[in-house]
Structure 1
Amino acid sequence: MRTIAALHTLEPADPALWGRKAAALARLARTGDFTVPAGIVLAADGTGLTTEDIELADRSVRDILGDVDLAVRSSSSEEDTAEESSAGKYTTVLGVRGSEALAAAVREVLGSADGAPMGVLIQELVHADAAGVAFSANPVSGARGEAVVNAVPGLGDRLVSGELTPQSWTVQADGSASSDDDTRDDATPAITADEARRIAGLAREVEAAEGVPQDIEWALAGGQLYLLQARPITTLVEPVPVPVPVIVPRGYWERESAHAAAPATPLSDSILDIAPSMQLMAQSFGLIAQFDFRDIGGWTYMGMLPLGMEPKSDKAPPVPGWALALMLRLMPEGRRRIRAARKQREEDLSMRLVDDWNNRHLDRLRARIESIRDKDLGSLTSGQLASHLDAVRELLAETMPLHFLGAMPHFLETTRLELFCREHLGWDYPEVLNLLAGTSEMSSEPARELRRIADQRLDPASKVQALEEYRRVYGARVLSTELAEPTFGENPGLIAAQLEALEASSRDDPAAGQRRLRDETAAKARSRLRGEALEKFNTLLDRALRAYPLRESNVFYTMDSPLALVRYAVLEAGRRMRQARAFTALDDVFYCTADEVQGWLNGASGDLRPTVRRRRGERAWILAHPGPPSYGTPPPPPPSTKWLPADVREMMELMMRAGERIVAPAGSSQMQTAEQGILRGTPASSGTYTGAARIIANERQFSRIQPGDVLVCPTTRSSWSMVFATIGAVVTDAGGALSHPAIIAREQRIPAVVATGNATQIIRDGALVTVNGTTGTITLHD
């Protein structure tokens, strides 16, 4: 069932839930500065339109508006963005009156969405003397001091649809107004010069409220000026590309997609620096690889070489194993790594990190995050907000090393268990992972808690309260490492849609089944082992069971939540900076660095608009010129490890194996054609499922996912776990059996195939496919 609310009371006015058209009008109406016709909104949170939805909408219309003529319009989260206005893309129905006509109009509007999630805005129809559109800045020349007003007699739908040529007025900042009457065949004026000035003033007031130049729809009736719609002028928002230098260093470099799938905004780039933490991880465990990160043409690339080696060209020379061992012993840093590898074994660093996380860090970080999360940022002075942002950045600086160090026990202990089971039991990797089924609790906790709310069948008021608490606890979590992207909590429409899907779902909580699978697999192993082998299996299994959950739990508290808190603080600063005209639009703050934001809060002044404009142009150029997957010549195979010290050799072999399980480089980079109607990848979660494929490129497209869909995507982060509760299967281009999508799919007991290379390019959106997570195949039925 769809959520329905009065337009003027939408709170929060979330575009993902109510659509951008309704959300913008609700924001503007609540200011009290604009006359917006009353209405109701059907949210885009339903999977279909039911008779109950129509009846409730009809009752709401009669209660709020009475028996009046109506205007029924679309309100999609994908229309009226800064990049595309979508004017006229969806159906509008005017002059609707009566229950049957309303039902037909709503269905007609939803039908124009072609299955995409769509809200519906129902307002009292303004019987206009004149109507039209207006631009707060000239959309052709870009002149900011020049408003343009287009007007036609009567209703404005014929202007928007292109049926009538409008009377056009240009209104300067000083109030002077001129029209095109002298050049028109039909010179009958739709509006007067004074009315054109009023409408231009309205457009400018909307721009002041929204922070960017606006394209509005308006109506005049009996002298009253109504605001019908407001959206950004896309032709002015689009930045002019500014080329950036592409300097390729010597050596071999691969695109770093795990933490930087797209070019970072300046704000994110100034906040997130993973290189020092990865270096600490390597030093602590005695890894003999050196990690390096470079910005090449705006995209992040990673290089990796044996310790002490510097690339002399774009082709890495082969290094004999004996030479590598000798270099390690000769270099001071090499000797330190040898000692670190021995020390981590003697002190059992892997299990010590697990115990430290569970006994020291987890509760402390949870309390600290809750304290920061619940602070009222709007009540802080600018100086206090600067201190708050500094505290959040300090939290992230503390948690980032924990993030990378905490992932190591997960990789090492699962790999040790895998190697033992392969040698003593002849098991393949999927069967080994059954020993750990259901233990990555943070992967499924958000969905499990939402399922608990769904199972309670709460009344509407209690459900709203439960969802608000859920959003408070689990919402402070980024869906992407790009801080310009909304957090999970800023997508209440996604949360509501997932709750509705869970309420309608017959799928059981997977926890019991996972526990049974885990116990049965362990019993099967123990029945085939004896003596020392059985004892070693029990030890390795116990270590893996303790370490396996750490990776997903770690991500939530060390990466996703701290980054969300940074975003919230930066957004509050951005609101103040926009109000002070340091820049134009709220999201301009993401084109500032963190130091620039804190400097402004601490009293630094200056016009940041030229800097923001240049950086927007640079990012536009970068996005239009994606670099290749790699630069340079792939290095030769790793040298033999037999000459290395025993502890260094074990760490190198374990991490090479784990790296294959995490990334699956061969499969992730393959290019398939599916000539036989079959794609192949790495089996990641067993089972078979047939359903409609949904191609999802990024987090902004979550609203397109319907219950039971097969999610097909480049890869996922752990924060995508919420949508896994209602999908039928998952297919990814990249990642191995230890990647985030594989872990989450196993926790939800849905089939998964990863490392297909190019499934997102081969599979058609909406196509019927069968995913076999046991064999690693996807069958295309269309």
Structure 2
Amino acid sequence: MNTALDFSEIDAGMLAEVGGKAANLGELTRAGLPVPPGWVLTTEAYRQVATGLETSGDGLAERARRHLLEAPVPAAVHEAIVKHYAALGPDVPVAVRSSATAEDLPFASFAGQQETYLNVVGADAVVDAVRRCWASLWTDRAVAYRESNGIDHAAVRLAVVVQVMVDAQVAGVMFTANPVTGRRRETVIDASPGLGEAVVSGAVNPDRFVVYGGAILERHAGDKKLAIRSLPGGGTERVETAHDGLCLTDAQVLALAELGRRVEDHYGAPQDTEWAVDGDGTLWLTQARPITTLYPLPETTRPGLRVYFSVNVVQGVMGPITPLGLSAFKLISGGAAGLPGYGPADPLDGAPFAFVSGQRLWLDITTAVRSRPGRAILPRALTLGEARTATVMERLVEDPRLSLVHTSPRPFLRAVARFARRVHAPSRVLMALTRPDKALAYAARLGEELDKRLQVPDSATPAQRLDHAERMLAGTFPAIISIMPIVITGYGLFALASKLSGVPLAEMQDVLRSVPHNPTTEMDLELWDLATRIEPEPFKELPVAELVRRYQQGGLPPVAQREIAAFLDTYGHRGVAEIDLGVPRWSEEPAHILGVLANYLRMDGGADLAPAALFAKGAEQAQAASAHVVRQARRRARWRGAVARFGLRRTRKFAGLRELPKFYLVKTLAAVRHSLLAVGEHLVGLGVLAAAEDVFFLDLREVRAALDGGDLREVVAERRAAYVQEQRRRHVPRVLLSDGTEPEALAVAAADGALTGTAASAGTVAGMARVVLDPVGAHLEPGEILVCPSTDPGWTPLFLTAGGLVMEMGGAMSHGAVVAREYGIPAVVGVPDATHRITTGQEIEVNGAAGTVTLL
């Protein structure tokens, strides 16, 4: 392998030899873009110097740096450096930059992780800068960054770029998409006099320009009090400046934006670039890397600006969904879309408004945003479930690109009528009003019938299992959604009682405490009760992994073994992120449930704090709240009181059923998962897959095709790696526009220190915060305030010990808010960046009525 290569000899496929930065510079050079000349010392040179370097253990970073700074440079490497430096010109000033093989990648830019040395003059100085670049691969921050991105230290190599310095009069950075709002093709330029290092390092407040569609949208002058300039003979100096006005002309700004467009077009993706303008006014490109923070866009052929809404966010599942999980969701959505008459020609294609991006599910809600009924209904519906999204929607309708085009309500009313007819809504509503016990029995009977339909004979062939899975996925939703007219009747009567009494809905939330017939609440109470019936010793003494091992081998004490098995027989189809059939259920991986039981058994608390007692107390509060509403209604008129009493009784009888459709849907997903694991075993036998679980990294069409044989192990490995990488994404937008804009990012930021959200469950509590990003293995002491991104039913066992709840997502009727109210936990939801702005151990106060969180 060559130890040194000119830029003209390098292309994007040479990452392993030259690292990310050099690969990009070579690619840009070969594309004819204005890159200052240079060369790269390849990873082969680093390999020779790093021979014998230990890449694990304590003190790794410091030990590795010392090794690389003290090891002798091999003679051949030294000769290559001197020779290629001389070829650039006599004692020419150069920039010496690190170029790691795990750098400037599509998922991790590593910007600023390794070192750059500017205005290096002389061969000996270049050799010394190269050595320091090698050592910078092992700075503490570079080591930490690799570990956080799951990159193996031993697999990383470092090349070194040596590039002619531009004597920059002005320099800076340029993003070809807005890195804050996400808007594609909106170029953002930061510029300052002198070398670009002042801008890159954050040492100066630069001028900022925003360009879109060939026009300059914004010009903002920074103070530019500092400039970094080259010194004669090598090195740089920082000088104070007093630069009034803007440091770029409009013509230069537009020329830069055009250059950025060329770079983006070459790579086919938005780029983060560095640039400089020399004394002659020549524009140079000194670096380009992908912008790794942008959320990927759904692919669409639909014209105009589109609006996408995140299903993941509203379901409380921030991570990606497996390919088979997404395929199942598409099939479910196709069945759902058929109810109002918008079903796809091929159910496997999913609803025409369902899209996948970032391995997450999105709904195209553009038609609703641009229609009169949609504008009336959508914000109100979202206010209940996702209040922050409702605020975004209210602003979106002001965008002229999303003007009102669907003014007639007739298509909407026809769709509603078709939907109501197909789920038998009129008869369900009548049943709920006149025969409430029959309505409850109907909901229970649906579950019994579902259990029968989900059964697959052990003798079923893989093809028959797949046929059954597709039938269940396509047909279950239309069946179970027929429960919702009953639920809506209960909530409709709740609203009617508010009107009749004059008591605002916000003041009636106690009526909804401790409602019966909620399968998630019943599950949580059963789990707590289970903890009171089993032998406590092993749960107090053994780690969770050992508890799991003993349970799976039948080695727990007899009562615990029997009772836990019975619990999982009823609720084992549930799990965290349970809407993804690619995710194991509690029955498969009981660590979460056994860990929760262990936490319960280690706690000290009186009987009055037991969830059953608290639930009973909540029911008493609900009765008192109902009586208050009825009294207020009776004061207006006797008939009003009678109707309000009737309505609130129905509300409490039916409100808990709102969780039942999802409970049944998750049961369906769990049964389909079990059946498809058997298909996966068959594919392992055919040599198509390496493990049965790999079937979840195929879609339904691919699974069917795989029954004829083939080898998909490499495909699965690539998808699994992409899935693991996507799990590290720290931010998922609630709403995304097809031009990349995240509308919420355009909102004015809240005042410093002000944590406000949506009031979700009344009451005030002060206590210690516990920030939890994943409920599996989480431990919450009684009274601690749970701070989390969002929740699904897999989180709710933690609610039994929480003193309060703060969630980044959700609205007053989102899952976490509803369960918090039922348990009497003060809660505020929809708090932006709560898990970053609050730290574990911090004292906070949650005011669930005002919707505020105060840092004490």
Identify whether the pair has TM-score above 0.5, normalized to the shorter chain. Answer: yes
- Pick aligned residue for 1:472 from 543, 548, 569: 569
Distance (Å, rounded) in 1 between the aligned partners of 2:525 and 2:804:
18
Structure 1 residues 560, 237: closer, same or farther in 2, change over 3 A? farther
Counterpart of 1:551, as a letter, is R
Say whether 1:450 aligns with 2:527: yes
Match of 1:682 among 758, 767, 783: 758
Q: TM-score, normalised by structure 2?
A: 0.51
The match for 2:680 among 565, 574, 580 is 574
Q: Report the CA distance shift for 1:716/1:431 in structure 2 as closer, same or farther (over 3 A).
A: same
- 1:295 is aligned to 2:352: no
Q: Distance in 2 between matches of 1:523 and 1:163?
A: 67
Query: Residues of 2 paired with 1:577 and 1:416: CA distance?
Result: 53
- Give the superposition deviation at 1:389: 4.8
What CA distance in whole angstroms lies between the structure 2 residues aligned with 1:577 and 1:357? 44
1:244-263 equivalences in 2 (<5 Å): 247-248=299-300, 249=302, 250=304, 251-256=306-311, 257-259=313-315, 261-263=318-320
> 1:279-314 CA distances to partner (integer Å, 9 max, x unpaired)?
356569xxxxx9822234654322332599799x99
Change (3 A) 1:577 1:623: same
In structure 1, give the amino acid aligned to 2:559: S
Residue equivalent to 1:594: 700
The answer to whether the aligner puts 1:761 opposite 2:836 as a matched pair is yes
Of 715, 740, 753, 1:611 maps to: 715
Task: Evaluate the alpha carbon distance shift between residue 739 and residue 247 of structure 1 in structure 2; reply closer, same or farther with a 3 A threshold.
Answer: same
Offset, 1:445: 1.0
User: Structure 1's 716 and 693: CA in aligned 2 closer, same or farther, altered over 3 A?
Assistant: same
| Letter in structure 2 aligned against 1:537 | A
Unaligned runs of 5+ in 1: 1-139, 142-149, 152-157, 165-232, 285-289, 635-664
SS, match of residue 247 in structure 1: coil
- Asked if 1:630 is matched to 2:735, the reply is yes
Query: 1:276 and 2:329 equivalent?
Result: no
Q: How far apart are the structure 1 equivalents of 2:422 and 2:56?
A: 72
Establish whether residue 350 from structure 1 lines up as the match of residue 402 from structure 2: no
Partner of 2:518: 441
Q: What are the Cα deviations for residues 78-122 of structure 1, in whole angstroms up to 9, with x where unaligned?
A: xxxxxxxxxxxxxxxxxxxxxxxxxxxxxxxxxxxxxxxxxxxxx
Q: 1:671 to 1:389 in 2, by over 3 A?
A: farther
1:363 maps to which residue? Answer: 445
Residue number in structure 2 paired with 1:490: 588
Deviation at 1:560, TM superposition (A): 1.5
Q: Distance in 1 between matches of 2:672 and 2:600?
A: 31
Corresponding residue of 1:535? 642
Distance 1:346 1:369, change over 3 A: closer
Q: How far 1:709 sits from its partner (Å)?
A: 3.3
The answer to whether 1:696 aligns with 2:772 is yes
- Paired residue for 1:743, among 813, 818, 822? 818
Residue of structure 1 equivalent to 2:654: 547
Deviation at 1:608, TM superposition (A): 0.8
Per the TM alignment, residue 393 of structure 1 is displaced from its structure 2 partner at its CA by 4.1
- In the aligned structure 1, how far is the partner of 2:761 from the partner of 2:806? 10
Q: C-alpha root-mean-square deviation of aligned residues, in Å?
A: 4.7
> Aligned partners of 2:479, 2:516: CA distance in 1, in Å?
20
Deviations 1:607-634 (A, max 9, x none): 0123324434655676678775434499
What residue in structure 1 maps to residue 793 of structure 2?
Answer: 718
User: Does the residue aligned with 1:734 lie in a helix, a strand or coil?
Assistant: coil
- What is the alpha-carbon distance in structure 2 between the residues aligned to residue 424 and residue 748 of structure 1? 25
AA of the residue aligned to 1:279: A
Q: Write the distance in 2 (CA, Å) between the matches of 1:579 and 1:688.
A: 59
Gaps of 5+ in 2: 1-42, 45-50, 61-149, 156-267, 270-295, 343-350, 375-398, 537-556
Contact 2:689 2:713 in 1 (8 A): yes
Partners of 1:532 and 1:345 in 2: how far apart? 30
| Contact 2:55 2:153 survives alignment (8 Å) | no
Q: How does 1:107-126 map to 2 (within 5 A)?
A: none
Q: For residue 583 of structure 2, what is the amino acid of its counterpart?
A: E
- In the alignment, which residue of structure 1 is the partner of 2:403? 317
Q: What's 1:137 paired with?
A: none
2:599 is aligned with 1:501: yes
Shift of 1:271: 1.2
Q: Which one has the largest radius of gyration?
A: 2
Give the Å deviation of 1:390: 3.8
Query: Separation in 1 of the partners of 2:449 and 2:154?
Result: 41
Contact 1:350–1:409 (Cα < 8 Å) also in 2: yes
Q: 2:667 aligns to what SS in structure 1?
A: helix
Give the distance between the partners of 1:585 and 1:237, measured in 2 at CA. 27
Relative contact order (alpha carbons < 8 A, sep ≥ 6): 1 or 2 greater?
Answer: 1
Provide the C-alpha distance between the structure 2 equivalents of 1:340 and 1:597, rounded to a whole number of angstroms: 32
Task: Find the residue that maps to 1:454 and give its secondary structure.
Answer: helix
Question: Within the alignment, does 1:384 sit opposite 2:461 as a pair?
Answer: yes
* Matched pairs, number: 508
Q: Would the aligned equivalents of 1:418 and 1:429 in 2 still touch at CA under 8 Å?
A: no
Mark the CA change 1:627 to 1:680 in structure 2 (over 3 Å): closer, same or farther.
closer
**CA contact 1:255–1:629 (8 Å) conserved in 2:** yes
CA contact (8 A) 1:414 1:548 kept: yes
Structure 1 position 423, deviation (Å): 5.8
Q: CA deviation at 1:440?
A: 4.9
Instruction: Provide Cα deviations, 1:1-44, integer angstroms capped at 9, x if missing partner.
Output: xxxxxxxxxxxxxxxxxxxxxxxxxxxxxxxxxxxxxxxxxxxx
Q: Separation in 2 of the partners of 1:412 and 1:582?
A: 50
1:755–1:356 Cα change, 3 Å: farther
The 3 A distance-change label for structure 1 pair 583 and 436 is same
Q: Distance in 2 between matches of 1:306 and 1:482?
A: 27
Distance 2:617 2:516 in 1: 12
Distance 1:463 1:691 in 2: 33
Structure 1 CA distance for aligned equivalents of residues 816 and 453 of structure 2: 30
